[in-house]
Structure 1
Amino acid sequence: MTQSVLTRPPARDDPPPTPSRGRRRRGQGVAYLFLSPWIVGAVLLTIGPMAASLYLSFTDYDLFDAPDWVGVDNYVTMFTGDERFWHAAWTTTKYVLFSVPLKLALALAVALLLNRPRRGVGLYRSAFYAPSLLGASVSVALAWRALFSTDGTVDSALAWLGIDTGGWVDQPQYALLTLVALAAWQFGAPMVIFLAGLKQVPRELYEAAAIDGAGPARRFFSVTLPMLSPVILFNLVLETINAFQAFTGAFVVSSGRGGPSDSTLLYPLYLYQRGFTDFRMGYASAMAWVLLVVVALLTALVFRSSKRWVFYAGEDR
C-alpha cells in the first residue's frame, strides 16, 4: 500500500511584524524633533498672538496702560454705536465684490491666451506674473496714486479724450475704483494656477466636442469651465480672503485716512486707525476677530455651494 502524500495547505502571508512601543515612541520623537521649529513658530507667532488678541478684545487697552476688562462692550459699541465701522464694512464688501471677479476673469482670460503654444510664451508668463510680486509694495501703491491723481497720467489721458474726472483718487465716486484696478492688476498668481489647471484638461474632450460640432464658446462653457471648476474654487477662496485683508493700497492711496470722504476706508485700514492712531487696541482686536469670523463663514458658504458647481473627474452628475 502506497502511502498517500499529504499536501500542505498554502501558507498565508504573515502580517509584517509591528514595531514595538519603544520603537514607535523613538520614531515619534524624531518626527517631533524635525517639526519643532514649525511648532515653536506656530505657538509664538500665530497661536499665542491670537489668544492674546482674543483676550484684549474684551478689554480697554491703549498700548501703554494695563488692559482693563470691559467684557463685550467693544463688540456692543462696534455694532450699535460706530457708524464708521458699518461704512468700512460696506466699502470692503463693495471692494471684494468688484475686485475678486474682475481679477479672476482677467487671470483666466490671460491664462487661456498663454496656454496656446507660441514663441516667447515663457517671457509673457513672467511679465504677467511680475505685478503679483510687486503689487503689495508701498512703492507700487505710490506709483498707482501718482497715475490716478489730479493731472496724473490717467487724468491727462482722459482729459485728452475729452473726459474730465478731476483725478480718480481725489473724487469719492472714483477713488475706490483705483483700488479695484490695483487689485485686478495683480492677477499673475491666479493666472499661473489657472495655467496649471488648463494643462490638466484632456485634449480628447476638446476633440470629442469638436467632432460633435461644438464651437469655441460651447467648448469653453461645456469643457473648460467644468474641468477648471476645482481650480476656480481654489482661486476664489484665496482671492476672497486676500481681498478682505487688503490694506497697503488703501493706506498709501489715501495717505492713511481712507479718503476722500471715507470712500477708500477699507476694514483693515479702519482697524489700523483704531489700534495705532486712536490707541484703542482692545477695540481693534475685537474688529479683527469679527473679520476672522466673517471670512470663515463666507469660506464655509463657498465650500458648501461648491457641491452644485464644482465638477471632479470621475464623478457622476
Structure 2
Amino acid sequence: MTKRKNVTASLTLESARTKHDNWSGFLSISPWLIGFILLILGPMIASLYLSFTDYNLLSSPNWVGLENYRNLFSDARFLKSLEVTFKFVFISVPLKLIFALALAMLFNTGRKGSSFFSAVYYIPSIIGGSVAIAVVWKQLFGRQGAITQILSALNITDTNLIGNPNTALFVLILLVIWQFGSPMIIFLAGLRQVPAELYEAASVDGASKIRQFFSITLPMLTPVIFFNLVMQTISGFMTFTQSYLITGGGPLDETLFYAVYLYETAFEYLRMGYASAMAWVLLIVIAAITFLFFLTSKYWVFYQSEGGR
C-alpha cells in the first residue's frame, strides 16, 4: 500500500513538472506567438475577408462575393502586371543564380583575398533593395546618366534607357542580378561541402574540369540550387522598390510589377477589397510554382542521405 502511494506521488510530481515545463515553453515562445497572431495570421484572415468585399477605407466593407476575383481577369493592367512579373522572374532568377555560382566557384579556389572579395560582393545584397540605390540606379540610366552617356559616346544608343519601353525592364533586371551576394554565399557554403576526394578520383580518371563540373559539382550542389531557386523566385514575385522608385511602373506599364500595381490599387485608388483579392491571387501563384518546384525536384535534386539521391 505504501509502495502504491509512493508511485502515485511520483506520478503526480512528474505530471506537475511536465505541466510546469509546458507552461515555461509557452511563456518562452509567447512573444513570437503573439507577434505571429497579431502581425501575420490576423492580417491574413482580415485580408481574406476583405477580398470578398468592396472596401475603400472610408466606409464599411460591402460584401460582393467573388466579384473582385472575376473582375481581375478582365482587368488589362492586372494581366499586364502578371505578364511583366513573370517575365522579370524567369529572366532575372536564372541569370542571378548563374552569376552567383560562377563567383562562388571563383572564391572557392582558395586564392589570396577570396574571403575579402566574397564579403565585398555580398554588400549589394544588403543595400541593393534600398531607396538610395534605386535613386542612384535611376540617375545612372536616366537621360543624363553616366551609363547613357557612355553608350551614346560609343554610338550604341542615345536614348533614355529607363524611358524606353524596350529596355526599361532589363535595367531593373540588371539591378537585381547585381544583388547576387546572398545566393553566392549559400553556393560557396555548398561548394565547400563537396568532398575533395571526388575531384581527385576524377582527375586520376582523366576527367577535364568541365566534365568534373557537370558530373560532380552540379549534382552535389542540386540541393543548394533548389533552395536558392525557390527563395529567389519567391523574392522575385514580391519585388517592389526597384520598379516603384526607378520607373514608377512605366513606360507604358512595361515595368508594372505585380506588387506595384497592388500598392497603387490599395493606397492610391483606395480599392482595398480589390487589392486584397490581388494579394491572395499572388499567394496562390507563388504557392503553385513552389509546389511545382518540389514536385519536380525528385527528378533532378540529389541527396547523399537517400542512397545517392
TM range (shorter): over 0.9
Moved more, 157-166 or 18-27: 18-27
1:194 equivalent to 2:187? Answer: yes
Alignment of 1:26-65 (within 5 A): 26-65=20-59
Give the conservation status (yes or no) of the 8 Å contact 2:149–2:158.
no
Provide the residue aligned with 2:116 in structure 1: 123
Provide the residue aligned with 1:68 in structure 2: 62
Provide the residue aligned with 1:272 in structure 2: 263
Residue 205 of structure 1: how far off its partner (Å): 0.5
Q: Distance in 2 between matches of 1:29 and 1:133?
A: 39
Which has the greater radius of gyration? 1
Residue 151 of structure 1: how far off its partner (Å): 2.6
Q: Distance in 2 between matches of 1:50 and 1:273?
A: 19
Q: Distance in 2 between matches of 1:232 and 1:133?
A: 21
Provide the residue aligned with 1:240 in structure 2: 233
Unaligned ranges ≥5, structure 1: 1-16
Q: How big is each residue's C-alpha offset from its partner over 1:44-67, in whole Å with a ceiling of 9 and x where there is no partner?
A: 010001011001101111111111
Q: Distance in 2 between matches of 1:218 and 1:60?
A: 59
Q: Which one of 200, 214, 219 corresponds to residue 212 of structure 2? A: 219
1:263 equivalent to 2:254? Answer: yes
Residue 197 of structure 1: how far off its partner (Å): 0.4
Residue 134 of structure 1: how far off its partner (Å): 0.3
Letter aligned with residue 76 of structure 1: R
SS at match of 1:62: coil
Unaligned ranges ≥5, structure 2: 1-9
Letter aligned with residue 30 of structure 1: S
Q: Which one of 272, 293, 297 corresponds to residue 302 of structure 1? A: 293
Q: Distance in 1 between matches of 2:137 and 2:157?
A: 19
Q: Percent identity?
A: 50
The runs of at least 4 aligned residues of structure 1 exceeding 3 Å deviation read: none
1:281 equivalent to 2:272? Answer: yes
SS at match of 1:162: coil
Residue 21 of structure 1: how far off its partner (Å): 2.5
1:176 equivalent to 2:207? Answer: no
Give the conservation status (yes or no) of the 8 Å contact 2:96–2:176.
yes
1:110 equivalent to 2:93? Answer: no
Alignment of 1:132-211 (within 5 A): 132-211=125-204
Letter aligned with residue 153 of structure 2: W
Provide the residue aligned with 1:6 in structure 2: none
Residue 20 of structure 1: how far off its partner (Å): 2.8
Give the conservation status (yes or no) of the 8 Å contact 2:78–2:261.
yes
Q: Distance in 1 between matches of 2:106 and 2:194?
A: 15
1:292 equivalent to 2:287? Answer: no
Q: Distance in 2 between matches of 1:98 and 1:167?
A: 22
Q: How big is each residue's C-alpha offset from its partner over 1:95-149, in whole Å with a ceiling of 9 and x where there is no partner?
A: 0011000100010000000111122222101110000000110110011111111
Residue 214 of structure 1: how far off its partner (Å): 0.6
SS at match of 1:225: helix
Q: Distance in 1 between matches of 2:223 and 2:36?
A: 29
Normalised by the length of structure 1, the TM-score is 0.92
RMSD after superposition: 1.2
Give the conservation status (yes or no) of the 8 Å contact 2:141–2:147.
yes
Letter aligned with residue 227 of structure 1: M
Residue 316 of structure 1: how far off its partner (Å): 4.0
Letter aligned with residue 244 of structure 1: F
Q: Distance in 1 between matches of 2:155 and 2:293?
A: 43
Provide the residue aligned with 1:4 in structure 2: none
Letter aligned with residue 298 of structure 1: I
Provide the residue aligned with 2:7 in structure 1: none
Give the conservation status (yes or no) of the 8 Å contact 2:92–2:176.
yes
SS at match of 2:56: coil
